[in-house]
């Protein structure tokens, strides 16, 4: 009987749930709304470390330990808890007297059910009699790729010393949201230097290996009174115009582009004797010259290793391979060397140091045991070791590029009589005369065969076994590489013209990079006479990036905080280029037409905001206001909390028109009721 009653009750409950469940209806896309807090926003003479905030619905916090920023910066991380509609923050540092405190949640607060983001929510209170109320807003991007900087610390110093950012904690701080936007709130009147850092060790100042951005001008926050006109819509659908008083907080368009100085301490990172013939040294940073490596034991003690080797070095000399040529060294089981090189000391200065290193052949003992075992079983002549030789290019040869070959060891000589290039004519192979196999200037083991290829033809490169011999006397086996050359109609061309390039100084060059889907260059060209053309481009999807080559060295240069040098300016073409076979694309690219945050196509952005289309419409001001609601960035009349930097209109000036620092004019103003 009991089971029957429970079953019946379950049926009734199920039926009630079915009847009462709403079907359809609009999706909730409204973020949580602030109701009250203790202390209330804008309160003064506060002496409590606990802050309770109540919202109109249940909320959840996303990555709040990283996104919440308390200003002034706290030495100890605050304790943060949420329960239902309540968020509780416990400040663990002692409160400073006569100080305005700001709690900036960025985009950490969302409603529990739909995940709608309350972006830029912040509140303040003061331990003294007054609230500091000025603010600075802007955006932070990566200088090289114009990626929005998410979660980067932005702060100011009233101490205008050049060393402040290296030694002192930032005085007032904020963090960028998912769009790279920031607002530093509750500033006193005065002059400030502004910085953005990624602050990996949480010490609230810049360390030399950290990413950094700076404005090379002084920030002086001000507020201006202004009248704002709003359109209100009644329940009957009628619009009415109202004018209200607001305050315009400036500057609100600071653009910071972060870079890394690529500082690396110099030290001997690794060393090894890969085999008897090869010794490798790896250093922590690039060098201007080779280290001095001297043999420290054996018959050749005191001799320089460079004089006994063929050197294979990577550009920058941070990786150096010594191919030992002297047979005495090659046969020496244990090799000791004295390495003299510049090393970064405790004062961050380069000083000469000497390390004595022991270099043992890898697997030597194991190889000896294996050899002895084989000798006990039978006496067999060792196998002949052949020199590895391969083509690095495929069987489909690019019309405009050479064929490249690579040997496994440095090559002593290539006998021109032992190799040949042939072209297929019907069923025959005819020799191509007048071609050269030349060493690659960047790699001693590579060789290039540069030929004016005939479109669509088949070629064959062959080399006899003794035609390529290494410095150790090893030779290749008979080698053959057959390939077909592409036709010009297999490619397309992409051209750009730059109508506003005359607005830049004549003393700079412009470099344009044609990018693939991974945001990496596939071709690079310098602009000449306001135009650039990329030829022999394979069909596919492409993008483009340009940068100002201020020092005309043909490469993008990062910035220097110590030298007060900004990174070279970067611009993106804002559209995807779909290239087909045998097509030409000609585009006009006005570099200064769009603000920074609208240039890079979303397809290749890595830091994409996690918002729905509706959210983006709301932030761009495309959506009508609900009845009786102002689109006022959620600021109350004290400016105590709000939605931070909401940018609506385009506009941009370069550093050239902003007094020499930071590209301003990103967006228009934000206002407070």
Per residue in 395-409, pLDDT tens?
A: 999 999 999 999 999
pLDDT (0 to 100) of residue 120: 83
Q: Where are the beta strands (DSSP E) in 457-583?
A: 458-463, 468-470, 479-485, 492-497, 509-515, 521-526, 531-537, 540-549, 570-572, 577-579
Ranges for all domains in the chain classified under CATH 2.60.40.10: 493-604
User: Residue 267 and residue 253: Cα distance in Å, rounded?
Assistant: 42
User: Residue 519 and residue 513: Cα distance in Å, rounded?
Assistant: 10
pLDDT (0 to 100) of residue 574: 96
Please say whether the beta carbons of 403 and 449 come within 8 A: yes
Q: How far is CA 178 from the centre of its chain?
A: 15
Using only C-alpha atoms, the chain has a radius of gyration, in whole angstroms, of 34
Please say whether the beta carbons of 59 and 113 come within 8 A: no
CATH code: domain 34-222 is 2.60.40.1220
pLDDT (0 to 100) of residue 274: 87
Please say whether the beta carbons of 525 and 533 come within 8 A: yes
pLDDT (0 to 100) of residue 178: 86
Q: How far is CA 156 from the centre of its chain?
A: 24
φ and ψ at 520, to 5 degrees?
Answer: -110, 145
Ranges for all domains in the chain classified under CATH 2.60.40.3710: 389-489
Please state whether beta strands 570-572 and 468-470 pair in parallel, antiparallel, or not at all (unpaired): unpaired
- Report the chain (673 residues): mean pLDDT per 10 consecutive residues: 34 36 63 95 95 95 91 92 95 95 92 88 94 95 96 95 94 92 95 96 91 96 89 79 88 96 92 93 92 95 95 91 94 94 89 94 58 52 79 95 96 92 95 93 93 96 94 94 96 97 94 97 96 97 97 95 94 97 96 94 87 44 34 33 32 33 34 36
User: Residue 476 and residue 469: Cα distance in Å, rounded?
Assistant: 7
pLDDT (0 to 100) of residue 425: 95
SS (H, E, C) 331-361: CCCEEEEEEEEEEECCCCCEEEEEEEEEEEE
**Sheet of strand 79-83, all strands in order from the earlier edge strand to the far edge:** 34-38, 50-55, 86-90, 79-83
pLDDT (0 to 100) of residue 375: 54
Residue whose token pair is 């290494």: 470
Strand, helix or coil for residue 11: helix
Q: Which helix (H) or strand (E) holds 429?
A: strand 428-431
- Which of these, 498, 489, 499, lies nearest to 579 by C-alpha position? 489
**HSE (side-chain half, CA atoms, 13 Å) at 20:** 6
Give me the CATH topology for the region 268-375. Immunoglobulin-like (2.60.40)
List of residues 6+ apart from 274 with CB closer than 8 A:
280, 362
Residue whose token pair is 């690794």: 270
Ranges for all domains in the chain classified under CATH 2.60.40.1220: 34-222
Q: How far is CA 308 from CA 190, 291, 333, 640, in A?
A: 65, 15, 16, 73
What torsion do the CA atoms of 329, 334, 339, 344 make, to the nearest 10 degrees? 140
The 10s digit of each residue's pLDDT in 344-353 is 998 888 999 9
352 forms beta bridges with 342
Strand, helix or coil for residue 167: helix
pLDDT (0 to 100) of residue 669: 32
pLDDT (0 to 100) of residue 227: 87
User: Residue 208 and residue 206: Cα distance in Å, rounded?
Assistant: 6
φ and ψ at 602, to 5 degrees?
Answer: -60, -30
Give me the CATH topology for the region 389-489. Immunoglobulin-like (2.60.40)
Give me the CATH topology for the region 493-604. Immunoglobulin-like (2.60.40)
Q: Which two tokens stand for residue 287?
A: 């060098």
User: Residue 584 and residue 580: Cα distance in Å, rounded?
Assistant: 8
Q: How far is CA 74 from CA 127, 466, 467, in A?
A: 15, 72, 71
List of residues 6+ apart from 206 with CB closer than 8 A:
165, 166, 195, 197, 199, 212, 561
Q: Which helix (H) or strand (E) holds 139?
A: strand 134-142
Q: Which helix (H) or strand (E) holds 619?
A: helix 613-620
What torsion do the CA atoms of 139, 142, 147, 151 make, to the nearest 10 degrees? -60
Query: 35-43 — which CB contacts under 8 Å span 24+ positions?
Result: 35/85, 37/123, 39/125, 40/125, 41/123, 41/124, 41/125, 41/636, 41/638, 41/640, 41/641, 42/124, 42/125, 42/131, 42/636, 42/638, 42/639, 42/640, 43/125, 43/126
Please say whether the beta carbons of 651 and 665 come within 8 A: yes
Q: Which two tokens stand for residue 140?
A: 């932070």
pLDDT (0 to 100) of residue 370: 53
Q: How far is CA 246 from the centre of its chain?
A: 38
């Amino acid at each position: 009987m009991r089971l029957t009653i429970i079953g019946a009750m379950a049926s009734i409950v199920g039926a009630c749930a079915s009847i009462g469940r709403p079907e359809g209806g609009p999706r909730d896309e409204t973020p949580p709304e602030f109701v009250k807090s203790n202390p209330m926003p804008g309160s003064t003479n506060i002496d409590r470390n606990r802050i309770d905030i109540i919202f109109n619905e249940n909320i959840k916090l996303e990555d709040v330990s990283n996104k919440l920023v308390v200003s002034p910066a706290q030495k100890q991380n605050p304790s943060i808890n949420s329960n239902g509609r309540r968020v509780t923050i416990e400040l663990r540092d002692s409160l400073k007297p006569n100080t305005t405190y700001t709690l900036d949640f960025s985009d950490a607060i969302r409603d529990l059910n739909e995940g709608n983001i309350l972006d830029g929510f912040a509140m303040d209170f003061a331990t003294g009699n007054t609230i500091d109320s000025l603010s600075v807003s802007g955006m932070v991007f990566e200088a090289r790729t114009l990626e929005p900087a998410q979660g980067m610390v932005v702060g100011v110093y009233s101490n205008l010393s050049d060393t402040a950012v290296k030694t002192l904690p930032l005085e007032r701080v904020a963090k960028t949201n998912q769009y790279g936007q920031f607002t530093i709130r509750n500033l006193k009147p005065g002059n400030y230097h502004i910085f953005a850092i990624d602050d990996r060790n949480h010490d609230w100042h810049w360390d030399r290996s950290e990413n950094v951005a700076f404005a090379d001008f002084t920030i002086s926050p001000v507020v201006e009174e202004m009248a704002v006109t709003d359109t209100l819509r009644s329940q009957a659908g009628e619009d009415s115009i109202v004018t209200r008083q607001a305050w315009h907080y400036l500057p609100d368009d600071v653009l910071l582009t972060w870079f890394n100085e690529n500082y690396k301490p110099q030290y001997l990172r690794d060393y090894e004797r890969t085999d008897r013939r090869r010794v490798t040294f790896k250093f922590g940073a690039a060098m201007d010259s080779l280290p001095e490596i001297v043999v420290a034991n054996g018959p050749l003690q005191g001799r320089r290793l460079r004089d006994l080797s063929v050197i294979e070095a990577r550009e920058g000399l941070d990786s150096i391979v010594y191919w030992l040529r002297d047979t005495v060294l090659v046969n020496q089981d244990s090799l000791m060397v004295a390495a003299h090189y510049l090393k970064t000391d405790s004062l961050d200065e380069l000083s000469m140091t000497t390390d004595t290193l022991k270099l043992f052949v890898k697997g030597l003992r194991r190889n000896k045991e294996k050899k002895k075992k084989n000798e006990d079983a039978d006496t067999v002549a060792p196998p002949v070791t052949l020199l590895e030789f391969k083509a690095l290019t495929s069987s489909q040869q690019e019309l405009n590029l050479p064929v490249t070959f690579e040997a496994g060891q440095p090559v002593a000589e290539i006998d021109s009589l032992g190799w040949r290039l042939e072209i297929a004519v019907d069923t025959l192979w005819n020799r191509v005369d007048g071609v050269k196999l030349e060493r690659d200037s960047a790699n001693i083991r590579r060789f290039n065969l540069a030929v004016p290829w005939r479109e669509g033809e088949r070629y064959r490169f062959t080399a006899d076994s003794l035609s390529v011999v290494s410095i150790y006397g090893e030779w290749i086996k008979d080698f053959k590489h057959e390939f077909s050359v592409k036709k010009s109609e297999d490619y397309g061309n992409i051209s750009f013209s730059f109508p506003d390039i005359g607005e830049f100084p004549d003393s700079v060059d412009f470099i344009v990079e044609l990018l693939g889907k991974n945001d990496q260059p596939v071709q690079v060209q310098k602009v000449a006479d306001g135009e650039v053309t990329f030829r022999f481009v394979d069909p596919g999807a492409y993008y483009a990036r340009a940068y100002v080559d201020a020092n005309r060295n043909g490469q993008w240069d990062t910035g220097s905080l110590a030298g007060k040098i900004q990174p070279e300016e970067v611009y993106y073409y804002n559209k995807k280029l779909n290239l087909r076979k045998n097509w030409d694309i000609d585009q006009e690219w006005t570099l200064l037409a769009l603000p920074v945050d609208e240039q890079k196509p979303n397809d290749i952005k890595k830091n994409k905001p996690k918002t729905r289309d509706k959210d983006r419409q709301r932030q761009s001001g495309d959506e009508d206001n609900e009845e009786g609601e102002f689109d006022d960035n959620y600021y109350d009349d004290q400016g105590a909390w709000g939605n931070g930097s909401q940018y609506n209109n385009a506009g941009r000036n370069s550093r050239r028109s902003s007094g020499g620092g930071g590209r301003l004019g990103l967006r228009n103003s934000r206002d407070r009721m």
